[in-house]
Amino acid sequence: TDAVTQVGVSFNGVPATSFTVDASTSAYTNITAVAPAYTASTFAEGAAAVPVTISSLSNSEVSATGTYKYWKAPQISSATFTTAATGLEVTFDIATDQAGVTPGTQVACTDILSSAKLGTGASCVWTTPTLLAVTFGTNPTIVPTTDTISLNTATSAKRVRTATGFSDPAVTVTPATVQAPYPLLAPGPITLAGPAEIDTCASLEITATLARSSPRPVTYIWRCTDDNPAGVAFNSYLLQQTQASIFLDTGTPELTTADQTYTINVYAQDFLGATSEVAILTFKKKASISPALTVPARITDVLPGKALRVAAACTHSACNNEKTTLAYQWTAVTQPTGSEIPATVLGTKTQIVIPANSLAATSDYTLSVTCYVDADRSQTTTQQVLIQTTASPLIAKIKGGSKKLFAFSAAISLDASQSRDPDLPASSDQGLTYLWSCSVPTATDPTCRKATDGSALTLESTATLSIAAFTLSASTEPYVFTVSVSKGTRSVQTASTNVEVTAVAVPTVSLTSDITGKLSPSARVSMSVTTDKPAADVSYKWTVTPAIILPTKADGSTALESEVFKLGTEGTSFVLVPTVAGATDSALQADVTYTVTVKATWNTLVGEAQQEFVVNAPPVSTLAKPCVAYRKGLLGDTAQYQGRALADTWRFNCSQFADVDSPMTFRWGFRVSDPTTLTGYRDDWKIETDVNVWDTILPAGPTSPITVTGNADASFLTLETKLVAQVLDSLGAPSNIYVSSVFVSAFNSRRRGLLGVGSRRADSTQVANMAAAQTTILQTASGGDAPTFATSVGVFMTTMRDLGTALDASHRIGHVEALLAGIQSAVDAQVTSPTEFNQAQGDTIAQGVRDCVYTPCENSATAVVAALNLVADMSTATKASGVTAFPQSFGDNVVKVVANTVKASVNSFCQSSADQPGANMTTAQLATLMSKSRTAAVNTLSEVINDHSAGEAGLSFRGAEDATGQAFWKAQRAVLSPSLEFTVPNGGTSSFKLPDDIGTVKTGTFDLFSSDNGVSTAMKDYGLDQISDFFGGLTITPEKSKTAESITGLTNPIQVTVPINSAFTAGGGTQIWQGKA
């Protein structure tokens, strides 16, 4: 009855500090003991198991023994800068409870760590139970070797315990010294861009660009290496320069001698002391007049497996008042024998595109580009470009997922045949060597052994591996199979998959995915699954760990699971779309490793497969204002944020970003008012560049909420214009959006407001100013940078729209026609074919066209046809550029142009307009209108469908300008594409016959659209609304003027769209079109 005096409690022989006895129930006696301190230092995974013994004090042979575990609190074992120096990797010695934070969730680092040097707003995320990833905030000051990191032990902090949660909260015994990254990633490669020749009237700008910079300020060390007096004088100037570019004003007085060559070099140094290689540029200051030609002097680390674009920019000499057409010529100076650049690539455009797999690896190519005034060949400039290639890393890949489950009675098949050499076409022999290995890393004996005799498993050296059934024993320890892929002297690449063998005859599951490496937070995840069992008898369940956090929308609501998991989680296909319409964040968190598991159940037996992927972190800058806009040439001046609309050039600079996935891309645009959005604004992206600066003119109208700082009756007003920038790494991960404001003055004649705003008619001075601005813009068309030219056009058109009624219709139409012609000239100067444009370039040009036809009824027939020609070409270019699908913004731009130009040709729509483009269209223009609008639409449709899985709902392209965009589809169905609607029974067959009155149809494969709710519903609202879930080819063979065709296996109603050939323009087709209008 008094157990306290009758028994003793000890832990590993050491008496308990105290214990109490509760004998209140007759069934048992409960003893609660306080364990003594654990003085030994031996722990395994944070735990130390010791015997706990309860024994009779009167009879030591009467006792009971159990096991008690002491739990050690986790400790920080290391803190190391990330490779890109954008944060820290804080490692713990044992698995933690992640401070009670949901895995993959970002929290303020101050909740867990104690350091005032991580920067304002530093964020932390647990990537594993032992690894805490720190992303620096604004203006961090922490440096390696001298600074330390420790835990926050305040009562309000999130305390770290063991993964079981049984330990005391962790405390910092010894602060961890912060270590430099290993390997230390130096900035670079560095590229110098500047003219090869300038004349005595020119200004000079030379810009150093780092493909990989630093998140903190970088210092540039400039030198002139010439030892003559002019070189020494120029070097004195360069010694004072520390920024990424140098600018010498008109006449370049710092270059004291003409007809002399100057050689400069530069390198960059980051805050860790790492330096880039030295870049060298040689240029000549000439006494004679010549155009200014800028092209990269050297392009390094070129991967032969990717297409390479090399672009030159050329402008007239400031001495030359006759701005006639500029012409170009590319030639190859030196190149490896047998791996020459195709002669068709080297031409007379400002840009050349060297196709993928054209260049030899680890080789040098020297090209020469000449720019000259077409009307005066004496005005000529030539510059050379050195291209240095490297070998791409081999790609090792094992099909089927990162984890597979096989039955003991099933053969194990592994396939690495999708491994490849990226420098070769995928269809060619890759020339790879395969070496397989197997281990059980979690077992005492890591060797994979046969179940039959225990001998070591031997593996074949082939792309595919097959292991007979009953070879490997069933085990809870995973077998890790690794394939090493090699080729000559190239670095060996490996891929691994975990194989678990079970005694139960579960289905063999194979997971198919195109995931390789890291994914962008906005990347679409698409997978499918197959098994070795009859499909009708198998059910599936997909899960993701850590759990997906549904995005938050701008209105504060949470996205639906159906918006993220587009096909649900119980089918043979799995689609995860992390960025949904209206969302402000992504469902995927940067730096987190996700595991997708699919379980296949057959007759109660469950097989499974897994695929892991890591979400890529975006580029990071630790500066408070990493992107700054200012008036070019006035950085640091008191007037750097003030200037004139259309007349002054502005520079937007985002130079201090770092990311291990380089090179980076920079996206630029304006923040504009939009009352239809919750925020009252939207970001109108204009252009993407490979360099970290954007030079542009700015509009004179309200591209953003206006801040008026002048008097409305004065000679000018000053408006606040907001520029926006975003940085993307080579995998597409986007940074935050950065905003910078400048103040733009709109100069006018006296007694007028902003260029005539306020329903006032513009006077002759304002009209002349607009004409002069247009002329200045048009003079840059033959410079050959079509995207930059299109951006200038968009800025000009924004200004013109904001004039209200200040300009009469004839002036507006004249501007639009001239500027569209200028875009076409810029396109023709830059490329031989529109397909040489990449997606970003095509998007920018389409935006310029969109801005031109913003008001459909104020366009001429000539402008309408020109706009459609351009946007159709850009849609073809984007389709050919290799993107998996058109971005939503580009689709929107295409639809806006198509809808507005078609509306312009519909007389009933524009009946109140003084000028009716439709009434003035010729038959040939109508034919072009229809064929080009269809080209643009079908290109967009097909690219959208390409990026959708079977059964997934389509996208909706909408915009404020498209309220009557249905005119496009009405026109398509009425004239160019008569529609035949019919229903196919489930799994059944149906047929159709073309009507007699739609003209002759040629043999070929035509477009086939299906719709869940019928064509009239699916396409009725906007230009391209609710695109159907099926897009395919239908082969039609004509029989006289009638054609019959059978379609099988469809379950939805379908629309067949049959294009009529050009013969329709000669008959009733045109009359039908005009009658419908």
What is the total residue count of the chain?
1077
Q: Is pLDDT above 80 for 1036? A: no
Residue located via tokens 């030609």:
293
Residue located via tokens 């006032």:
760
CA distances from 964 to 108, 895, 998, 1000, 1057 (A): 48, 12, 26, 31, 21
| 488 or 952, higher pLDDT | 488
Q: Is pLDDT above 70 for 905? A: no
pLDDT-derived band of residue 985, with 50, 70 and 90 as boundaries? Answer: very low
Strand partners, 7: 56
Q: Is pLDDT above 50 for 551? A: yes
Q: What is the dihedral angle through the alpha carbons of 23, 24, 26, 32, rounded to the nearest 10 degrees?
A: -40
Question: What is the pairing mode between strands 260-269 and 219-224?
Answer: antiparallel
Cα gap 365→807, rounded to integer Å: 53
664-678, 872-886, 991-1005: range with highest mean pLDDT: 664-678
Question: What is the pairing mode between strands 518-519 and 605-615?
Answer: parallel
Q: Is pLDDT above 60 for 865? A: yes
Q: Which residues contact 556 (CB under 8 A, 6 or more apart)?
A: none
Residue 648: φ, ψ to 5°:
-95, 150
pLDDT-derived band of residue 1014, with 50, 70 and 90 as boundaries? Answer: very low
Strand partners, 385: 367
Angle at 111 between CA 122 and CA 159, to 5 degrees: 140
Question: What is the pairing mode between strands 650-653 and 628-631?
Answer: antiparallel
CA nearest to 925, candidates 906, 898, 905 = 905
Structure tokens given for 450: 């046969």
Return the SS3 of 874.
Answer: helix
DSSP notation for 367-385: EEEEEEETTEEEEEEEEEE
pLDDT-derived band of residue 359, with 50, 70 and 90 as boundaries? Answer: very high
pLDDT-derived band of residue 362, with 50, 70 and 90 as boundaries? Answer: very high
Structure tokens given for 437: 């290995």
Residue 172 is given by DSSP the state: -
Cα gap 76→172, rounded to integer Å: 8
Counting DSSP H helices and E strands in the chain, the numbers are 13, 56
DSSP notation for 811-872: HHHHHHHHHHHHHHHHHHHH-SSGGGS-HHHHHHHHHHHHHHTSSGGGS-HHHHHHHHHHHH
pLDDT at 856: 72
Chain centre distance of CA 213: 18
Q: Which residues contact 529 (CB under 8 A, 6 or more apart)?
A: 509, 510, 511, 512, 540, 572, 573, 574, 598, 600, 609
Q: Which residues contact 768 (CB under 8 A, 6 or more apart)?
A: none
Q: Work out the mean pLDDT of the chain and round it to a whole number.
A: 80
Region 236-252: what's the mean pLDDT? 93
Residue 74 is given by DSSP the state: P
Residue 477 is given by DSSP the state: S
Q: Which residues contact 321 (CB under 8 A, 6 or more apart)?
A: none
Return the SS3 of 785.
Answer: coil
Cβ-contact 328, 379 below 8 angstroms: no
Q: How many other CB atoms are there within 10 angstroms of residue 682's CB atom?
A: 15
- How do residues 584-619 score in pLDDT, each as one tens digit? 788 998 888 899 999 999 999 999 999 999 998 899
Cα gap 539→1023, rounded to integer Å: 39
pLDDT at 1060: 37
pLDDT at 14: 93
Structure tokens given for 400: 């089927």
pLDDT-derived band of residue 811, with 50, 70 and 90 as boundaries? Answer: low
pLDDT at 185: 85
Q: Is pLDDT above 90 for 672? A: no
In what helix (H) or strand (E) does residue 16 lie, and over which residues does it extend?
none
- pTM for the whole thing? 0.78
DSSP notation for 133-166: EEE--BS----TTT-EEEE--STTS----BTTS-
Cα gap 94→77, rounded to integer Å: 9
Structure tokens given for 52: 């706990």
Chain centre distance of CA 288: 45
| 947 or 100, higher pLDDT | 100
Cβ-contact 697, 791 below 8 angstroms: no
CA nearest to 611, candidates 492, 722, 509, 714 = 509
pLDDT-derived band of residue 480, with 50, 70 and 90 as boundaries? Answer: very high
CA nearest to 399, candidates 572, 530, 551, 590 = 530
Question: What is the pairing mode between strands 525-531 and 509-513?
Answer: antiparallel
Ranges of beta strands (E only) in 922-1003 are: 979-982, 989-993
pLDDT at 1029: 29
Helices 809-830 & 861-880 angle (0-180, nearest 10): 30
Question: What is the pairing mode between strands 642-644 and 738-747?
Answer: parallel
Q: Is 441 exposed, middle or buried (0-12, 13-18, 19+ CB in 10 A)?
A: exposed
Return the SS3 of 546.
Answer: coil
Amino acid code (one letter) for 35? A
Cα gap 564→579, rounded to integer Å: 8
Amino acid code (one letter) for 229? P
- How do residues 284-339 score in pLDDT, each as one tens digit? 999 999 998 988 888 988 999 888 999 998 888 888 777 788 999 999 999 999 99
pLDDT-derived band of residue 706, with 50, 70 and 90 as boundaries? Answer: very low
pLDDT at 4: 67
Cα gap 957→728, rounded to integer Å: 24
Residue 363 is given by DSSP the state: -
Region 246-265: what's the mean pLDDT? 93
pLDDT at 395: 92
Residue 920 is given by DSSP the state: G
- How do residues 772-789 score in pLDDT, each as one tens digit? 888 888 888 888 789 999
